[in-house]
Chains A and B, each alone.
Chain A
Amino acid sequence: ETGVTQSPTHLIKTRGQQVTLRCSSQSGHNTVSWYQQALGQGPQFIFQYYREEENGRGNFPPRFSGLQFPNYSSELNVNALELDDSALYLCASSPNLALGTDTQYFGPGTRLTVL
């Protein structure tokens, strides 16, 4: 039982636009990570938030930014969308940063298409 939800399920944007994706963590989880999965590829780590602060970041440009709220829900914002940003975006929550990746629970993902 994961309890992680993401919205929207699908999204279509045009190049240059901005997008916000949302993740609702499982109750009690204070750590959230975001991953990008391009078609035919494995997910790639974008960043992690712990108690509303960015805790780690992968090889993504600054136009990828995030927020984590006091209720531990989270947003991923992408500015100046590019065609290569088309992907499935996954969030994963964890009950405690110290537990590391042992207890990450993934949401169903948001499919973003950039035209």
Chain B
Amino acid sequence: KQEVTQIPAALSVPEGENLVLNCSFTDSAIYNLQWFRQDPGKGLTSLLLIQSSQREQTSGRLNASLDKSSGRSTLYIAASQPGDSATYLCAAGGSEKLVFGKGTKLTVNP
């Protein structure tokens, strides 16, 4: 059974700081690893998707890496901004379903 863990549960940083969010998963037989952003009371916004054969993906100030052998993924956010404040969820993608972690709540202080 796939289990996904995200550390830390919450993170508060000053504006401009670079930061790393961590995600671990127990079953390396994944199709993909996805990162989402969720604003309070809202749905999910897809940020990055890494195929199982890939090592990383980049979009703007975001970079996600995947190490299947160790069951880990990281989301790197460069030059954080107050608008980045949200909960970040990672999900291990199987053939039919995503298994999510509980998320990391990020607060970027001006």
Contact = CB atoms under 8 A, between A and B. Distances in A.
Interface of A: 33, 35, 40-45, 48, 55-56, 58, 88, 90, 97, 100-102, 104-109, 111
A91 to B, nearest CB: 10
Interface size class, chain B:
20 to 34
Contacts of A45: 97-99
Given A101-B31, A101-B32, A101-B94, A107 B99 contact: no
A94 to B, nearest CB: 9
Contact of A56 (B93, B96, B99): B96
A40 B97 CA distance: 20
Contact of B42 (A33, A55, A109): A109
Interface string B50-74: 0100000000000000000000000
Contact of B97 (A41, A58, A106): A58
